[in-house]
Structure 1
Amino acid sequence: MNLVPYDAMPPDPFADDPEDPANELGAVDHGEERTEPLSETERAELLEDLADLTVYQALLEPRGVRGIVVDCGDCAEPHYHDWELLRASLEQFLEAGQMRPHEPAFDPDPVHYVTWDYCRGFADAVRTVPENSDAH
């Protein structure tokens, strides 16, 4: 499993800058941060999601699907995740117990993204088509 190292992200342009405009904001509450390690069940589910993601990408990327769309419960907006971005986020969660913030896809075309449920249904359909079937 290839993990994305922390320093693979672009550097903070205001790191160690006393004039950082964010200093005026003070401490920002980013919601509840996880303090306990992942349970064995959570780890198993994340590993299963990563395995599923590999299958979904292999099946759908050649058909022009660029990734997965997720409806955000916090902002009620769809979030578009390219395959590699989602994989990196899941690996980060597996490694650190929480996901770090990331940049959203730039001007994504919704036509090229599908839901996790669509991926699951597509993969199930592919698995149930007999090998010698004329269905494609």
Structure 2
Amino acid sequence: MLALLGDGAEGLGYLLKERVADPAQLVHALQETSRGGSIVDPVLVDTLVRRRRLTAESGLDALTPRELEVLQHMATGLSNAAIAWSLSLSESSVEKASNTLFAKLGLASEPSVHRRVSAVVTYLRAVGHPDSSPSTHRHTAP
């Protein structure tokens, strides 16, 4: 959505399908955008603001676009080799990006914590994934 607004919001309308089904809301949005105004669904605005706050709190905003891309691929369960192939990188480039993102997220190498899993959980929490609660992912070594 933010990429869509990159060139300005003049004449832009974005409504969820539930709102488009309401004729009064649809007519209002069409009138507003035809005058050069903009309409963005409040649910979408809330989601974007919440996601941005979580991203800043998690440290993900410190990642470069490449590091974030590597983390997104990690979150799908891909190995470094598969990430390298998917992004047309060398495996050593993926390893370097991984180590850098671990450092930026404050994930020190500890025997009882798997940094890759911790990084993925951080990412999933920031994007609002429903299965990323701490109780389901944080385990301590016996």
Structure whose alpha-carbon radius of gyration is higher: 2
TM-score for the superposition, normalised by structure 1: 0.27
**Which has the bigger relative contact order, CA under 8 A and spacing at least 6?**
1
Question: In proportion to residue count, which structure has more helix?
Answer: 2
TM-score for the superposition, normalised by structure 2: 0.26
Question: In proportion to residue count, which structure has more strand?
Answer: 1
